[in-house]
Amino acid sequence: MGRDTNHVYFKRILVALDDSEDSLKAFKYAIHRAIKDDVDLVLVSILEEKNMNVYQALSKDYIHGQRDALEQHLQDYRQQALDAGVKKVATVIGAGEPGEEIVKHVIPHAQADLLVIGAKAKKGITKLFGSQAAYMAKNAPISVLVIR
């Protein structure tokens, strides 16, 4: 007997991470869902260049250092997901305006069919996704689950 036809199944879940409380809840939900449905998980974080001052933006060393730190952070999340039992976990780093970058570039590249995001962003200058949640929910070409 096949899968329940009343349940929507997704093959690849994309979760946007920015270290906010809601983002971490989204990450935990995405892990649970990926294990339950035996699907792939893709973790994405965006290097938001508009929060850099002009000197930082012009410094290749600064941007490279920021990107390396973000990559290491995503690898830590990837390991957590693998340790929890997700079989396949990929990571993606983008740069620019988070909502637009995820909708226009990351979703098509990752070939995800569900985007899981936190409702509120991290406070302060490093805030990445909170105000972007509505943009992604409205403009994403795939299903979006907003976690609170």
Count of helices and strands (H, E) across the chain: 6, 5
Give the model confidence (pLDDT) of 6-26 as tens digits: 666 899 999 999 888 999 999
pLDDT of residue 120: 79
pLDDT score of 60: 53
What's residue 20's pLDDT? 86
Q: Which residues of the chain have pLDDT under 50?
A: 1-2, 52-59, 62, 124-129
DSSP state at residue 52:
S
Q: Where are the domains of the chain?
A: 12-147
Residue 96 confidence (pLDDT): 87
- Lookup: tokens for 146: 């907003």
Q: What is the CATH number of domain 12-147?
A: 3.40.50.620
pLDDT at 17: 93
What pTM, to 2 d.p., does this model score?
0.82
